[in-house]
Every structure is written in structure tokens, then in C-alpha cells.
């Protein structure tokens, strides 16, 4: 039983009796399994999954239903397929129901091997839990079990088909939910095989969820297998994914000082039950060989290890001298560093000298997005909102690749409208939609995409428009004008764009919860302005409209709120007064600007101090390098695209002398005499920051402070049955070491203390007695698939002002017509390869396609190029780069390259560029 009162048990309209106990539930239209689990009752199930709904296939959730008070016989029903009605009397504990469930388990176990001790799922296996729950602990089946050949499914997923119990959850997630086409159910009757046609990598970018969706050990985490530890032996903490700006909640697990895996931490408003593969498998950079472990000081051409105290006093002295000379030190912050790290650097160098380490142009986009969200033409859509919207317009953003979990939810939203219509006609409940979703799978809801090239969401869209950035903006402005005539109309629209705008406007206006999505991906301000206009027009038309803007990096939103300027500004200031001290926080400038610009920026500084956890081009060029911590060894806060401030907590203590980047800056400030005493912990940094930035107040409330205690003690990071506590370091010393201190959080690096009942933002694992698998999450939710008890973690920082503020953006003038030989070059993104840190994980790296340029067929033919050719690409006369040629459906006169992917030059995009392509093969022939 839950230790709190679930929402379903609050005074509700429906009265029901379960095993003689009366419940009043507010569960109109829900099924009995949903109700029982929400009440905290233990009822086993397999084929049901909270996100995949009911199919009634496995018969495991059988209960006894009685007609009335006089009925003593009752009948067996499937709880997942039975809607709750007022006055229902049912029994879970009825002997016949128990026997029925035991039989189902026995059938399911007929072919299941008894290999739990060598199975990676053991100890967190839904099947194990259900077998114990049904009491069916002994097998009568003594015959040969059917066996299968397993497949190599690539770097992420291990396959062990013999363990399969045919619940079909894998393909219901992979195929139906995530849109994958390379995993299917083969065969029939008692010989069903879930796999690919031949060995090969599962291609869908959400494949890792199979590990959690599979109720047993068929699909397990292959990266975990490389350094395996049981769930109960992993030290865990509530954390955040740092590989994009969606802000998915995660539970990374550590043992022996290495991160072993990442699992989903349910957050009803953000990622729900799922993660993308970048988020799940990007973690290996934490264990990578490129980690910085020691302070380094330049001696001649090389960086040599140095004592931390020496390095800090050298930097402190330099900063102090600089302040005295009137040319104070310059700080460059980072969109992938925490708010605290950015703020600490800003405090060290002073507000006017703190720049965000992204180009001025990029910063302007971030600021425009912030302005839009602050003014609030419509409230910001959380991922949950996105999944519930009934009409969607995506302007210019390849959401699948820039905000994967948002895209996964938009994919579900696309069938909301047609499904709702069919469900209403058939009088079905939302959970009973399997048949309807199958029947309407070719019907497309009001879902519109305008993008430069094809995206993975196109298959669910009613209309896709391939347009140049300025035409995408024009389509948006025109749509806004069609919805609300007071929105300014763009001039010189082409007939097809005008007609499309009318259709889109009509569809959005007809919806109750329309959503507009755009973002920084295309880096085109006019596209973001157009999206804002559409949202504003819908709001004015009285719709419950929402807007979602995708930020590029985990903390782009948060960091941009603190900065005085961008990289180009910083470069100008450094150049104007040579010899300054430059401090760079967790940022590789060579990824943000062209190499020659980065080199000259660094050369214009007198001293370059780089703080980062991982070696990169900027740390290699620095004079002094200080080792910081990854998200796994430090605590901090970030602001997601939703404007949600969230806290992540260190999973394991940093290996000294590495420490959180903000601590290095704080130590330097004290050493330079800018500050009397160091901050004692994260809370002090947050307090100072929120005093200076009232807008960030919510950061304080994102999680309890370090002084929080649960029943008088800290919340443990280790499970109550972690093994070998007194022995794990016996090879070093026989004395059991004291647990590491953690001044930054109310969590402890121990197994002591109770964790059940902790606020959701401090919950380090989903576990409940009898529920060892991640399915125990329902014990932590107010209601199945609802909020976590005590509220979903995070605080939204931006809500629309009570008084309508802001105005429509005027349409931007049409672009200059293309010049001969020039191409509109735009950025293209990939789940695998576009993000810096995850690309260091071997699995992600192996999934990354080589650097490429995509063009329309016509543009390729003009140049005599074919798909797959290798071409030497020269942009505006710069050094040529060799890339693969891709033919994509895109407007003539446009081309795209993939920033961040190794081998792609850093360029200000989008831009008209003189691109010359020469086929490498053709050159060789000459």
C-alpha cells in the first residue's frame, strides 16, 4: 500500500468495494487495473503498460467481479479490459482469481529458462516480481523448452529470445509508439520470435526503451553488460540528461567509481516513461579516457600536472593583478554547464565581463526565444502538453533530432484527433484504443511540418512543406494572419504558401489545444517570430494554444539569462585590450566558432584558464586547466526548453582534486581577494544567484536544500541491500572508510536512512517491496501515468503575464534572390553525433554517420553528383572538407551540413554561401 492518499482515493464519484474494503475513487472512464494500481494494490500484469494501454492479451490481471452483495460466486474478468463503474464489487484475493493468475504464470513460464542468476534483468525483473506475486514458485513442466537463436542488435541492446514470454510490449512500443520498422514479431503460436530479419543494429533512436519496456531479460542494456552490476548494488541519484534541452529526468547508476548505466526517472510533465538513445547511452563519456583528472599548467608546448593549490593561486594572482590594472578578467560561460557554474564565473569576473560561449548570432536567437516565452503569446508547452495537443504546427525545427523525447510525444499527438473522433463514435475509453489506433493508422490528424528537408516526423504529418528558412517564416506569418486578421501579413506570398497557410490556419483554429513548435535549430529569427505570431493569433482566437521552442543545449536557456554578450563580443573586448586573463567554463570554443577565430580569440588573451571535465581543443590550448566534474559527480541546476528549472544531484563523489567548476571559480575569487569566504555549498550559490536574478527564484524550489532531512536523516543513494559495503575497498584498507561528505545536497553516499517518502526531486530509485522492476513507478505516482507524489520535479520559470503583453512581430522582408552558384546553407542535426559529450560514448560514436552535405536531386544533377559520392566541399573559399553527398527532398538552392559531426566545419548558419562541390572520384579520374 502507498503511504499517502492517492488522488483516485480522494472523495470521488465512484464507489467500489475491493476485497471487502470500500474505496471512493475519482476514476471515471478508467479501467480496473489502472484503479487498483493507483490505489497501491498489488495486482500482477504483463501486456499492459501505462503508456501502451490495454490489449487484454496475457490474462494475468484477472480479478473476480461480483454482481451484487448477494453474489458469492462471481466471475473472472480481466481488470485491464474492464471499465470501472459505480458500485462495483471485486476481489483480488479470491482463491479462484489467485489460482487463475497462478495458471497464467505457469503457462508463461513453460518456455522461460531458469537462468535468473546469469540474467542481467535479475533483481529488477517484472516477470520475477509477478511470479513471486502470483505465488507460483515451483514448475511442473519438465520437458524440453523451445529455444531461439539470438541476434546482434547493435551497440545498445542485448538479445536473449529464450526468455521471451510473448507479451508483445516490445513491438507495441518500438513499432507502434516509436515508429520503428526493423523489429517485428515473426512466426506464430508457440514459436514467436521478436527480432530483425537478419542481425543488425536496431535503427530507431528510442530503441533503448526496450530494455525497460520488456518485462524480462530479452532486451537488456548492452553497455551495462560491459561492466555489470545488479540494480541493488548501483549507487544512484536523481539526475538530468545533459545531452539536449528537453531536460529528461534520469537515474544514472554507479559502482566502483564508474557510471554503469542510465535509466528513466519518470517525470509526468517531461519525459514520462521514456528516454532517447542519446540520453540513455551518452553516459559513457563520464568513464572515458579523455576525462581531466589533474590540474595542468603549461610548460612550453606541453601541459604538465600541477598541485591544485599552486594552480589556483597562479590564477588567483593573475585575476587580482588584472582587476588592479583596470583590464579585468573575462569569463566565457557555457550552455552545457550548470547555472551555478555560469553564475560563479560571472561573479568572479563581474557581470559586465561575463559572456556566454556561443556566437553573438546564436545568443541573439536564444534571447529572442527568451523574449517570446517571457512575453508569453501562449503558455509554454511541457512535453505532456505536447502529447495531448490535437493540432500541431512545426516551423523549421527537426524536433526528432534536436529534442527527441518531445518528438516521440508529438508522434503520439498526431493521431489524437482522428483517434478521439473514432473513440467517441465507438464509445470507447482512452485506454481501450488499441484497435482504433490500428484502424486509423493511415488517417493523419491536423499535423503540419514546414522544414528545409525531410524529418522523421513527416510520416505522421498531414502536410509537409519543404521550404527555405525565409519561406518557412512567410508561411508562419501568413498562417497567423489567416487566424487573426490583425496579425500582419507578409508581402509577396507565393500561391501555394498562401493556400497552405489557409489550410493550416483552419485546422489549428478548429482544434481545442493547438500547439506551435519551433526552435533554435534553424537559427533563423524570423521563423521563431512567425511561430510566436501563430501562437498569439490562436490565443486571441480563444484557443487553449501552447508554444514550444526548442533550445539547443541542456542549459542554453538558463545560461543565456546570465550573460552580458556572446563570443564575438568577448573576442572584441579581448582584442581591444591585449593580455587579459580569460577564464572558460566547460566550453570548447572550437565547436562554437571557426578554428582560426577561436585561435585568435585565445591568442589575444594574456592567460587562458580552462575549466572542464573532459579534454577538448580549448583545454588543450589553455595555459592552466582545472578539472571539473560531470553531471554524475556534481550537483547543479539547469533550465530546460520548457523554462523548467531542475536540479541534478551527484551520483558518486568526485575523485579529488576534481571538483564542481563553480568551486574552482569560487576558490579563485577568494584567492584573488574578491570575496571574503567561499560558498559552503550549492544552496549558497543558488541563494546569491536568485537574489541577483529574481526571475530564477524557482531554481531554489526545484529541490529541497542540503539541510532537508527525511525522518531525521539524509536520503540514501544506496539501496538497503547494497552488497560488500565493508569489503569493496578492502584491497586498499581493511578499515571501512567513512562515507564521502556532500555539502551540496540532502542525499548521502550511504545505504542508511529511509528513502520511501522522499520528495520526487530527491528520489534516487523506483523500488517498492515486491516491485523490484521499474514498474514500481506506479507506487510513486498519485495516479498511474499522473504526477509523482508531491508533484513532478522542477519549477516552471515562465508563465504568460496576467495582462496580455507583447505585440505581433512584423514579417521580415523577403530574402535576396539566390545568386548563381550560391546555396542557402542550413544546419542539420542528428540524435547521434550532433551533441558534444554523448559523441564521446563509443556506442553513440559507432551510430554516427560521417560528415555529409545534403542537396536536392536537381542540385546534385546540376553538379554531376550522385548519392553517396564523396565530395570536396568548399564554403566561401575556405579550406575544403571532404563529405558524403546525400540526396534529400529539399528546395532547390538549399543545402545542409551537420554541425558537431566530426569533419563538419564550424560556420555561421544559415547563410548564403558559395559552395563548390567536386566529386572525389571524378578528381581522381582526372
Residue 85 or 181: which CB sits closer to another protein? 181
The least CB distance from residue 193 to another protein, in Å, is 8
CA distances from 829 to 3, 456, 589 (A): 45, 12, 19
Residue 183 or 461: which CB sits closer to another protein? 183
Residue 28 or 199: which CB sits closer to another protein? 199
Question: Considering only residues 759-818, where is the footprint of another protein by CB under 8 A?
Answer: none
Question: Considering only residues 409-448, where is the footprint of another protein by CB under 8 A?
Answer: 442
Residue 195 or 521: which CB sits closer to another protein? 195
Kindly tell me the burial class for residue 87, based on how many C-beta atoms sit within 10 Å of its own C-beta (0-12, 13-18, 19 or more): exposed
Residue 183 or 417: which CB sits closer to another protein? 183
Residue 184 or 815: which CB sits closer to another protein? 184
The least CB distance from residue 89 to another protein, in Å, is 40
* Beta-bridge mates of residue 463: 448
Alpha carbons 693 and 342: distance in angstroms, whole number: 13
CB 363 within 8 A of CB 565: yes
CA-closest candidate to residue 492, choices 508, 507, 470: 470
Residue 175 or 577: which CB sits closer to another protein? 175
CB 888 within 8 A of CB 875: no
Question: Considering only residues 325-384, where is the footprint of another protein by CB under 8 A?
Answer: none
Residue 154 or 335: which CB sits closer to another protein? 154
Number of residues interacting with another protein: please give it, by CB under 8 A: 13
The least CB distance from residue 442 to another protein, in Å, is 6
The least CB distance from residue 184 to another protein, in Å, is 4
Q: Per the omega criterion (within 30 degrees of 0), is the bond before 910 cis? A: yes
Residue 444 or 577: which CB sits closer to another protein? 444
Computed from CA positions of residues 357, 361, 363, 366, in that sequence, does the dihedral angle turn out positive or negative? negative
The least CB distance from residue 409 to another protein, in Å, is 23
* SS3 of 242-286: CCCCCCCEEEEEEECCEEEEEEECCECCCCECCCCHHHHHHHHHH
Alpha carbons 773 and 231: distance in angstroms, whole number: 9
The least CB distance from residue 204 to another protein, in Å, is 11
CB 822 within 8 A of CB 914: yes
Question: Considering only residues 127-186, where is the footprint of another protein by CB under 8 A?
Answer: 181-186
The owner of cell 534516487 is 764
The least CB distance from residue 417 to another protein, in Å, is 20
CA 910 and chain centroid, separation:
25
Question: Considering only residues 181-240, where is the footprint of another protein by CB under 8 A?
Answer: 181-188, 193, 196-198
Binding mask 460-479 for another protein (x = CB under 8 A): --------------------
Alpha carbons 885 and 867: distance in angstroms, whole number: 6
The least CB distance from residue 126 to another protein, in Å, is 25
Alpha carbons 458 and 444: distance in angstroms, whole number: 11
Residue 196 or 828: which CB sits closer to another protein? 196
CB 794 within 8 A of CB 270: yes
CA-closest candidate to residue 624, choices 233, 851, 313, 204: 313
Alpha carbons 517 and 499: distance in angstroms, whole number: 21
Alpha carbons 534 and 542: distance in angstroms, whole number: 13
The least CB distance from residue 197 to another protein, in Å, is 4
Alpha carbons 520 and 366: distance in angstroms, whole number: 7
Residue 197 or 304: which CB sits closer to another protein? 197
The owner of cell 503575464 is 801
Alpha carbons 474 and 148: distance in angstroms, whole number: 56
The least CB distance from residue 728 to another protein, in Å, is 44
Residue 310 or 459: which CB sits closer to another protein? 459
Question: Considering only residues 550-609, where is the footprint of another protein by CB under 8 A?
Answer: none
The least CB distance from residue 390 to another protein, in Å, is 25
* Beta-bridge mates of residue 66: 89
The least CB distance from residue 690 to another protein, in Å, is 51
The least CB distance from residue 505 to another protein, in Å, is 29
The least CB distance from residue 183 to another protein, in Å, is 6
Alpha carbons 280 and 384: distance in angstroms, whole number: 20
Residue 183 or 532: which CB sits closer to another protein? 183
Provide long-range contacts, Cβ within 8 A and 24+ apart, for 764-771: 764/236, 764/237, 764/238, 764/251, 764/715, 764/716, 764/717, 765/231, 765/236, 765/251, 765/719, 766/251, 766/265, 766/266, 767/231, 767/719, 770/42, 770/129, 770/132, 770/133, 771/42, 771/129
The least CB distance from residue 170 to another protein, in Å, is 12
CB 342 within 8 A of CB 585: yes
Residue 193 or 232: which CB sits closer to another protein? 193
Residue 27 or 202: which CB sits closer to another protein? 202
Give the interface with another protein as residue ranges (CB under 8 A): 181-188, 193, 196-198, 442
Amino acid at each position: 500500500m502507498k503511504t499517502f492518499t492517492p488522488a483516485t482515493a480522494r472523495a470521488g464519484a465512484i464507489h467500489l468495494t475491493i476485497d471487502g474494503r470500500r474505496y471512493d475513487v475519482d476514476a471515471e472512464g478508467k479501467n480496473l487495473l489502472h484503479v487498483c494500481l493507483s490505489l497501491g494494490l498489488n495486482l500482477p500484469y504483463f501486456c499492459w503498460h501505462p503508456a501502451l494501454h490495454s490489449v487484454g492479451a496475457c490474462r494475468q490481471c484477472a480479478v473476480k467481479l461480483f454482481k451484487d452483495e448477494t453474489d458469492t460466486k462471481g466471475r473472472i474478468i480481466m481488470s485491464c479490459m474492464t471499465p470501472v463503474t459505480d458500485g462495483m464489487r471485486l476481489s483480488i484475493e479470491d482463491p479462484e482469481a489467485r489460482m487463475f493468475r497462478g495458471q497464467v504464470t505457469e503457462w508463461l513460464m513453460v518456455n522461460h529458462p531458469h537462468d535468473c542468476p546469469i540474467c542481467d534483468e535479475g533483481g529488477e525483473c517484472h516477470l520475477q516480481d509477478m511470479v513471486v506475486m502470483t505465488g507460483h514458485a515451483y514448475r511442473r513442466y519438465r520437458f524440453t523448452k523451445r529455444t531461439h537463436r539470438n541476434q546482434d542488435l547493435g551497440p545498445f541492446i542485448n538479445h536473449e529470445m529464450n526468455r521471451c514470454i510473448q507479451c508483445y510490449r516490445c513491438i507495441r512500443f518500438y513499432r507502434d509508439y516509436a515508429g520503428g520498422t526493423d523489429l517485428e514479431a515473426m512466426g506464430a503460436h508457440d514459436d514467436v520470435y521478436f527480432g530483425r530479419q537478419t542481425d543488425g543494429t536496431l535503427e530507431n533512436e528510442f530503441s533503448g526503451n526496450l530494455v525497460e519496456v520488456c518485462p524480462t531479460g530479452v532486451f537488456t542494456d548492452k553497455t551495462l553488460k560491459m561492466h555489470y552490476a545488479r540494480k541493488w548494488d548501483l549507487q544512484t541519484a536523481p539526475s538530468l540528461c545533459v545531452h539536449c534541452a528537453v531536460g529528461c529526468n534520469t537515474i544514472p547508476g554507479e559502482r566502483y567509481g564508474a557510471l554503469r548505466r542510465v535509466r528513466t526517472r519518470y517525470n509526468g510533465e517531461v519525459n514520462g516513461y521514456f528516454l532517447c538513445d542519446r540520453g540513455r547511452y551518452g553516459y559513457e563519456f563520464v568513464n572515458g579516457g579523455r576525462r581531466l583528472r589533474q590540474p595542468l599548467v603549461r610548460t612550453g608546448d606541453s601541459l604538465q600536472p600541477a598541485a591544485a593549490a599552486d594552480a589556483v593561486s597562479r590564477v588567483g594572482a593573475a585575476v587580482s593583478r588584472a582587476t588592479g590594472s583596470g583590464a579585468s578578467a573575462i569569463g566565457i560561460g557555457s550552455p552545457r554547464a550548470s547555472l551555478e557554474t555560469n553564475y560563479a564565473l560571472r561573479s568572479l569576473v563581474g557581470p559586465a565581463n561575463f559572456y556566454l560561449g556561443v556566437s553573438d548570432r546564436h545568443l541573439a536567437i536564444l534571447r529572442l526565444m527568451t523574449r517570446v516565452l517571457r512575453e508569453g503569446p501562449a503558455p509554454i508547452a511541457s512535453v505532456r502538453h505536447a502529447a495531448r495537443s490535437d493540432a500541431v504546427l512545426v516551423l523549421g525545427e527537426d524536433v526528432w533530432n534536436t529534442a527527441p523525447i518531445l518528438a516521440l510525444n508529438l508522434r503520439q499527438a498526431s493521431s489524437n484527433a482522428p483517434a478521439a473522433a473514432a473513440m467517441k463514435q465507438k464509445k470507447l475509453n482512452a485506454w481501450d484504443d488499441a484497435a482504433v489506433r490500428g484502424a486509423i493508422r493511415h488517417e493523419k490528424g491536423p499535423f503540419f511540418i514546414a522544414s528545409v528537408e525531410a524529418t522523421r516526423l513527416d510520416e505522421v504529418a498531414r502536410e509537409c512543406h519543404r521550404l527555405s528558412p525565409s519561406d518557412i517564416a512567410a508561411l508562419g506569418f501568413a498562417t497567423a494572419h489567416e487566424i487573426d486578421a490583425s496579425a500582419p501579413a507578409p508581402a509577396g506570398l507565393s500561391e501555394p504558401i498562401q493556400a497552405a497557410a489557409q489550410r493550416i490556419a483552419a485546422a489549428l483554429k478548429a482544434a481545442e489545444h493547438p500547439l506551435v513548435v519551433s526552435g533554435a535549430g534553424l537559427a533563423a529569427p524570423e521563423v521563431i517570430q512567425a511561430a510566436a505570431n501563430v501562437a498569439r493569433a490562436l490565443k486571441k482566437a480563444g484557443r487553449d494554444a501552447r508554444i514550444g521552442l526548442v533550445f539547443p543545449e541542456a542549459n542554453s536557456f538558463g545560461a543565456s539569462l546570465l550573460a552580458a554578450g556572446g563570443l564575438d563580443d568577448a573576442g572584441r573586448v579581448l582584442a581591444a585590450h591585449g593580455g587579459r586573463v580569460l577564464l572558460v567554463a566547460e566550453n570548447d570554443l572550437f565547436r562554437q566558432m571557426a578554428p582560426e577565430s577561436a585561435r585568435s580569440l585565445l591568442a589575444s588573451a594574456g592567460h587562458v584558464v580552462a575549466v572542464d571535465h573532459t579534454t577538448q581543443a580549448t583545454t588543450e590550448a589553455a595555459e592552466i586547466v582545472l578539472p571539473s566534474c560531470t553531471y554524475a559527480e556534481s550537483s547543479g541546476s539547469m533550465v530546460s526548453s520548457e523554462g523548467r528549472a531542475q536540479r541534478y544531484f551527484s551520483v558518486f563523489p568526485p575523485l579529488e582534486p576534481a571538483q564542481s567548476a563553480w568551486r574552482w571559480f569560487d576558490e579563485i575569487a577568494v584567492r584573488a581577494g574578491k570575496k571574503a569566504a567561499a560558498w559552503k555549498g550549492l544552496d549558497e550559490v543558488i541563494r546569491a544567484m536568485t537574489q541577483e536574478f529574481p526571475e530564477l527564484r524557482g531554481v531554489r524550489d526545484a529541490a529541497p536544500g542540503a539541510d532537508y532531512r527525511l525522518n531525521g536523516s539524509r536520503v540514501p543513494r544506496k539501496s538497503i541491500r547494497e552488497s560488500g559495503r565493508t569489503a569493496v575497498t578492502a584491497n586498499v584498507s581493511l578499515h571501512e572508510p567513512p562515507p564521502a561528505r556532500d555539502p551540496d545536497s540532502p542525499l548521502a553516499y550511504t545505504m542508511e536512512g529511509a528513502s520511501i517518502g522522499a520528495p520526487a526531486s530527491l528520489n534516487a530509485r523506483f523500488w517498492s517491496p515486491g516491485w523490484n522492476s521499474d514498474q514500481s513507478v506506479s507506487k510513486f505516482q498519485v495516479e498511474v501515468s499522473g504526477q509523482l507524489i508531491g508533484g513532478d520535479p522542477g519549477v516552471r520559470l515562465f508563465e504568460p503575464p496576467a495582462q496580455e503583453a507583447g505585440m505581433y512581430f512584423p514579417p521580415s522582408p523577403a530574402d535576396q534572390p539566390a545568386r548563381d552558384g550560391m546555396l542557402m546553407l542550413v544546419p542539420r542535426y542528428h540524435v547521434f553525433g550532433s551533441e558534444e559529450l554523448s559523441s564521446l560514448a563509443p556506442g553513440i560514436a559507432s551510430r554516427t554517420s560521417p560528415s555529409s552535405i545534403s542537396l536536392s536531386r536537381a542540385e546534385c544533377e546540376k553538379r554531376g553528383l550522385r548519392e553517396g559520392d564523396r565530395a570536396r566541399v568548399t564554403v566561401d573559399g575556405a579550406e575544403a572538407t571532404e563529405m558524403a553527398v546525400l540526396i534529400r527532398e529539399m528546395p532547390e538552392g538549399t543545402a545542409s551540413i551537420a554541425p558537431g559531426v566530426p569533419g563538419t566545419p564550424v560556420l555561421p548558419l544559415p547563410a548564403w554561401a558559395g559552395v563548390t562541390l567536386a566529386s572525389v572520384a571524378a578528381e581522381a579520374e582526372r
